[in-house]
Amino acid sequence: MANQFDYDVLVLGGGPGGYVAAIRSAQLGLKTALVEKEHLGGVCLNWGCIPSKALIRNAEIAHLLARGREFGFSFDNLQMDFGVAVKRSRQVSDRLVKGVGFLMKKNQIDVIEGFGTLTGRQTIQVGERSVSAANIILSTGGRPASLPGMEFDGERILNYRQAIVQDKLPDSLVIVGGGPIGMEFAYVYRAYGVDVTVIEMLPHVLPNEDVEVVDVVSKAFRKDGVRLLENTRTESVKTDESGVKVTVKDLSSGETETISADQVLIAVGIRPNSDGIGLEAVGVETVRGWVQINNRMQTNIPGIYAIGDLTGKMALAHVASAQGIVAAETIAGVETLPIEDYSAMPRCTYCHPQVASMGITEAQAREQGYEIQVGKFPFQPNGKALGLGDKEGFVKIVTDARYGEILGAHMVGPEVTELLPEFGLAKLMELTPAEIARNVHAHPTLSEVIMEAAHAAVGHAIHM
C-alpha cells in the first residue's frame, strides 16, 4: 500500500460488519484503523441481537415455568423480576463489547472515537482530526424507521433500542410490525404476562418466511394469548396521559378499530445511516439513502467500500460480517468468495417456536418456474424433541426436482436456529438431500429431523 496515507484501511463504523472488516484487514497485514462514534459492536451487541437473546432466554424460562406441572414441579409464590432480566441482558452485552475492544488491541487496530465524515476519496474528518487511508470501508449501519405521525418519544412510542433497555413492564403493548424484531419482543413481553397485540400490514406475520412455517408460529402465539392482526394497516397513534390509542384498518373488510394500550413499539424496519457522512461530496452512489455496491462490496468510487445495513442488502449482523470479510480480502488482493445471492443467507427468528430458513420458499420456487420436490418431516416423532417437551414444528426442504439442488430450507421448532448451518454448508458445497440423508446423524438429536426431511425429499422418509 502507498506510504503517503495514515492507514491502508480505514473503517467507518464499529458494528459487526465494521469491526470484523477491521480484524480481517489487520490479519492480512494491512495497517488498519476504525472510527466509532458511540460503542464498539454497534446495534447488534449493544441494543439488538445480543441483549434481545438474553431477554429471550429469560422468557424461555418463564414460558417453561408456566408448564411446571407437566414436568412435575410447582411453586406456591412464583415471582418474576423483569428488571433483573434487563440487567442481565446489559451485563451480557457489556461483556461482549469489552471483548471487541480486546480484539482491536490484539490485532493492533487503532480505534478513533468520534463521528466521521468523508471529506475526500481517501480522507475522513473526525472532529478536529483528518485521517487518510488508501481504502475506506463504510459501515455506519442503520437506525429504526418510524411512521408518519408516530415519532419515537421513548415513553409511549418506542423503537427497539428504547424497548430493549426499559426495565419496567407495561400492562399492555401494541407492536406495529410482525417481522423478526416485532415477534421476538412479542414473545418476551407475553412470557412476562403483558397483554400484547401485533399488527402486520402484509397477509401474515414473518412475511419473508414460508407460509407453512408461519402457520405454526401464529398458532403458538395465539394459543399463548398474543393477538395477531394481519393484513391490517396502522392508521394513527395518539398519546395521552393514560397511554396510547392505536387506530388500525383491516385491509380486507375496510373496518377500523382503535386499540388502547400503555405503549406502542414500532418495528417496521430500518433506515440507512447515510446522512451527514459525506457521501454526496465524494460522489458515492445511493438509492433512497442505501449505498450501492457490487458483489465485492465496492461502491462506484474506487477505494471506497460499503458493508452492512448501510447497503440495504440484508439487515442482519452475520451478513454484515460476511461482507466485511469480502471487502477486506478484496482490498488485500487475496482470494475471496464474492456474495452473489443474498437469498442463500441464513435467516433466524428467536421466538418460540424458533424459525430458521435459507433460500427461497416453496411458493417462490413455483413462481420462478421450478419443477420442485419437497421433503418435510415433523418434530413430533423425534425422540429428543419429545424428551424436551417441545415437539411442534417441522423441517422442510425445497429442491429442484431435476437436479436435486437445494433451493430453500425452512424450519420451525426447537432450536432450529442451531440446525440451520447444515443447510448452509450443503448449499455452499452443492450437496443434495441424497447426501444429507446418507450422512449419519447422532441419535437422539434434533438434527435427525433434517436427515428425515432429506430422506423424504428423495422419496423415502424412514420414520413416517
Same domain, 12 and 139: yes
Q: What is the pLDDT of residue 24?
A: 98
What is the per-residue burial (b if ≥16 Cβ within 10 Å, else e) of 93-106? Answer: bbebbeebbebbee
CATH of the domain at 248: 3.50.50.60
pLDDT (average), residues 381-405: 96
Q: What is the pLDDT of residue 381?
A: 95
- Look at residue 107 and tell me if it is in a domain: yes
Which backbone phi and psi does 164 adopt, to 5 degrees?
Answer: -70, -20
Classify 334 as helix, strand or coil: coil
Same domain, 31 and 120: yes
Q: What is the DSSP letter of 298?
A: B
Poorest-pLDDT segment among 2-6, 227-231, 256-260, 310-314? 2-6
Q: What is the pLDDT of residue 394?
A: 98
Same domain, 100 and 201: no
Question: Is residue 251 a contact partner of residue 203, using CB atoms and an 8 Å limit?
Answer: no
Same domain, 286 and 322: yes
- Look at residue 348 and tell me if it is in a domain: no
Q: What is the pLDDT of residue 76?
A: 84
CA within 13 Å, CB half, 446: 21
Beta bridge partners of 245: 238, 260
Encoded amino acid at 202, one letter: L
Q: What is the pLDDT of residues 146-187, one digit of tens each?
A: 999 899 999 999 999 999 999 999 999 999 999 999 999 999
Same domain, 80 and 178: no
Sign, CA torsion 229/200/424/408? positive
Helix (H) or strand (E) run with residue 242 in it: none
- Look at residue 341 and tell me if it is in a domain: no
Which pLDDT band, with edges at 50, 70 and 90, does 337 fall under?
Answer: very high
Q: What is the pLDDT of residue 417?
A: 97
pLDDT (average), residues 230-239: 96
Q: What is the pLDDT of residue 220?
A: 97
Beta-strand pair 394-400/372-378: antiparallel
Grid cell of 113 as nine digits? 472515537
Mean pLDDT over each residue of the chain, to the nearest integer: 95
pLDDT (average), residues 91-99: 92
Poorest-pLDDT segment among 101-115, 143-157, 343-357? 143-157
CA distance 147 to 441: 47
- The share of the chain scoring above pLDDT 70, in percent, equals 100
pLDDT (average), residues 17-44: 94
pLDDT (average), residues 97-119: 95
Same domain, 317 and 383: no
Same domain, 403 and 255: no
pLDDT (average), residues 294-313: 97
Does position 22 have pLDDT exceeding 80, yes or no?
A: yes
Alpha helix (H) residue ranges in 67-163: 68-71, 82-106, 160-163
Catalytic residues: 443
Q: What is the pLDDT of residue 47?
A: 83
Does position 313 have pLDDT exceeding 90, yes or no?
A: yes
Grid cell of 68 as nine digits? 411446571
Count of structural domains, the chain: 3
Q: What is the pLDDT of residue 464?
A: 78
Which pLDDT band, with edges at 50, 70 and 90, does 241 fall under?
Answer: confident
pLDDT (average), residues 213-222: 98
Question: Is residue 158 a contact partner of residue 165, using CB atoms and an 8 Å limit?
Answer: no
Does position 2 have pLDDT exceeding 80, yes or no?
A: no
Question: Is residue 339 a contact partner of residue 323, using CB atoms and an 8 Å limit?
Answer: yes
- Look at residue 179 and tell me if it is in a domain: yes
CA distance 304 to 3: 18
Q: What is the pLDDT of residue 459?
A: 86
Does position 344 have pLDDT exceeding 70, yes or no?
A: yes
- Look at residue 138 and tell me if it is in a domain: yes
Which pLDDT band, with edges at 50, 70 and 90, does 14 fall under?
Answer: very high
Same domain, 373 and 390: yes
Same domain, 182 and 194: yes
Question: Is residue 341 a contact partner of residue 405, using CB atoms and an 8 Å limit?
Answer: no
Same domain, 12 and 126: yes
Question: Is residue 394 a contact partner of residue 377, using CB atoms and an 8 Å limit?
Answer: yes
Residues 6+ apart with CB under 8 A from 233: 201, 248, 249, 251
Q: What is the pLDDT of residue 149?
A: 87
Q: What is the pLDDT of residue 38?
A: 87
Same domain, 200 and 217: yes
Helix (H) or strand (E) run with residue 111 in it: strand 110-113
Last residue of some domain: 220, 245, 268?
Answer: 268
Q: How far apart are the first and last CA of the chain?
A: 61
Q: What is the pLDDT of residue 412?
A: 98
Q: What is the pLDDT of residue 78?
A: 85
Q: What is the DSSP letter of 292?
A: P
- Look at residue 68 and tell me if it is in a domain: yes
Grid cell of 248 as nine digits? 388500525
Does position 297 have pLDDT exceeding 90, yes or no?
A: yes
> By C-alpha distance, which of 446, 411, 417, 388 is closest to 64?
388
Which backbone phi and psi does 258 adopt, to 5 degrees?
Answer: -115, 125
> By C-alpha distance, which of 20, 249, 13 is closest to 140?
13
Per the structure, the complete domain to which residue 408 belongs is given by 353-457
- Look at residue 344 and tell me if it is in a domain: no
- Look at residue 79 and tell me if it is in a domain: yes
Same domain, 289 and 219: no
